């Protein structure tokens, strides 16, 4: 007579179902449109977004749908062209923040309670992230850009680095919860290695919130980039970028010439809302 042991089973992953496609159309459609504009827009705009094409401060007209800015650049062409730059910033920042944040969150979550060097490092890292997160993002961004220089890549990287603590904290919280799950103990008793526990069980079960949060990170990164552009330390002029455009038109707006600030403002708002809505709708449907 033999007693068959029940082989260890993988932890029951929390299934995430994508919501019904029909109900997601209002959420996804703006994002698709934005991506299309980013990809094809610069090819379709009526004027070069970086060349002087008319007298400055012209109001919206048939020739210049969104008017011209203080330099004589076509605002419509620049709003469209800026979509690519700002989306790149947002997507790279979200990706970077998520990848690094997941790694840091996993490490700190699994090692904080341990003794020895790993525990000390994990605890120190957690406090360090708290301190970094307490600093004003714009100020830290200014310092980092002054150090690394200003171009699309460095701006994206800086915005991503600023959001790492947020993602790391989300993942760490999940790790601390998942660590106590019974299936983990079961897997350990079944002989699963620590590495296997980490990669097969803890990683897939604790990183999903960070992935959901990535769309929120996107919106924040675009806003931070716009803020840095508003302060004059974003992309070099006349590179189209919504924040810089808003800053350039701010003084004119206070004198009644509203168009060169309003349209990039609207574009920024639509983009941030669209990406934030994706996360909100997705969380609600879970």
Partner 1 sequence: MVRRLAKPLAVAVAAALLVSACAESANTADAATEEETSVTILQADIGMGLIKEAGANNTEFLGATQATLVRKPYVETTQDGVFEQDPFTYEGYLAESYEVSDDGLVYTFHLSDAVSAAGNELAADDVLWSFELKFGADTSTAPGAMSPVITDPATQFTKIDDKTVSITIASPGLGTTLLSMLADALAFVYDSTEMQANVSADDPYAIAWAQENPNYGFGPYEITDWEVGSYARFEARDNWILGTPEVDVVNVQVVPDAGSRASTIRAGDADIVEGLSPTDAADLATVDTLIVPTVSSPNTSQVLSLVTNKAPFDNLLVRQAISHAIPFEDIISNVYQDRAVRTGSGIVFTNTPGYDATGLPEYEYDPETARALLAEAGYPDGLSFTLTVSAADAESQATAVQIQTAARPAGFDVQIETVPGADFHTGRYAKIWQALLSVQAPWALTPIYTLNLLTGVDSQNNMSDWEDPEFYEALAASAEVIDQSSAEAGAAWNIAETRLLEEVPFIQIAQVQPGIAISDRIAGYAWRTDNTVDYAHLSINE
* Residues near partner 1 (CB under 8 A), total: 23
Asked if the peptide bond before residue 159 counts as cis, ω within 30 degrees of 0, the response is no
Say what angle helices 242-254 and 208-230 make with each other, to 10 degrees.
40
Of residues 4, 99, 88, the one with CA closest to residue 42 = 88
Question: Within 10 A of 152 (CB to CB), how many other CB atoms are there?
Answer: 18
Of residues 282, 251, 226, 192, the one with CA closest to residue 70 = 251
Interaction between residue 232 and partner 1 (CB under 8 A)? yes
- Cβ 223 to partner 1 shortest distance, Å: 20
Q: Which is nearer to partner 1, 220 or 235 (CB)?
A: 235
Q: Which is nearer to partner 1, 37 or 265 (CB)?
A: 265
- Cβ 256 to partner 1 shortest distance, Å: 7
> Any alpha helices (H) in 65-207, and if so which ranges?
75-111, 116-134, 137-148, 152-178, 182-189, 194-196, 203-206
Q: Which is nearer to partner 1, 50 or 176 (CB)?
A: 50
Interaction between residue 140 and partner 1 (CB under 8 A)? no
- State the virtual CA torsion across 179, 184, 186, 187 in degrees, nearest 10: -140
Q: How many angstroms separate the CA atoms of 176 and 160, rounded?
A: 24
- Cβ 118 to partner 1 shortest distance, Å: 43
> Using CB under 8 A, which of the segments 1-9, 108-116, 214-222, 228-236 binds partner 1?
228-236
- Cβ 56 to partner 1 shortest distance, Å: 5
- Cβ 258 to partner 1 shortest distance, Å: 11
- Cβ 280 to partner 1 shortest distance, Å: 33
Interaction between residue 282 and partner 1 (CB under 8 A)? no
Q: Is 169 helix (H, G, I), strand (E, B) or coil?
A: helix
Question: What residues between 36 and 95 interact with partner 1 by CB under 8 A?
Answer: 50-52, 55-57, 70-73
From residue 31, alpha-carbon distances to 69, 203, 213, 236, 278 in Å are 27, 28, 16, 27, 9
Q: How many angstroms separate the CA atoms of 174 and 132, rounded?
A: 21
Q: How many angstroms separate the CA atoms of 210 and 106, rounded?
A: 11
- Cβ 54 to partner 1 shortest distance, Å: 9
Interaction between residue 161 and partner 1 (CB under 8 A)? no
Interaction between residue 253 and partner 1 (CB under 8 A)? yes
Q: Which is nearer to partner 1, 102 or 145 (CB)?
A: 145
Name the site residues for partner 1 (rule: CB under 8 A): 50-52, 55-57, 70-73, 232-233, 236-238, 250-257
């Amino acid at each position: 007579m033999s007693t068959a042991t029940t082989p260890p089973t993988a932890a029951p992953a929390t299934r995430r179902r994508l919501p019904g496609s029909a109900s997601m159309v209002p959420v996804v459609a703006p994002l698709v449109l934005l991506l299309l504009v980013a990809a094809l827009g610069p090819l379709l705009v009526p004027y070069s977004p970086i060349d002087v094409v008319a007298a400055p401060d012209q109001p919206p007209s048939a020739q210049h749908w969104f008017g011209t800015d203080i330099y004589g650049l076509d605002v419509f062409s620049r709003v469209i062209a800026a979509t690519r730059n700002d989306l790149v910033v947002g997507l790279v920042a979200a990706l970077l923040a998520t990848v690094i944040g997941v790694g840091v969150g996993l490490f700190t979550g699994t090692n904080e309670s341990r003794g020895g060097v790993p525990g000390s490092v994990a605890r120190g890292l957690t406090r360090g992230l708290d301190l970094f997160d307490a600093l004003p993002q714009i100020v830290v961004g200014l310092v980092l850009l002054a150090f690394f220089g200003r171009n699309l890549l460095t701006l994206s990287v800086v915005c991503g680095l600023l959001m790492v603590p947020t993602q790391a904290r989300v993942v760490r919280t999940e790790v601390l919860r998942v660590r106590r799950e019974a299936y983990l103990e079961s897997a350990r008793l079944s002989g699963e290695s620590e590495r296997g526990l980490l990669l097969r069980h803890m990683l897939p079960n604790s990183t999903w919130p960070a992935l959901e949060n990535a769309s929120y990170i996107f919106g924040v990164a675009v806003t931070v980039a716009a803020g840095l552009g508003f302060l004059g330390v974003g992309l070099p002029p006349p590179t189209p970028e919504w924040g810089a455009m808003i800053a350039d038109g701010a003084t004119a707006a206070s004198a009644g010439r509203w168009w060169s600030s309003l349209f990039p403002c609207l574009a920024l708002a639509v983009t941030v809302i669209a990406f934030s809505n994706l996360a909100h709708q997705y969380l609600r449907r879970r």
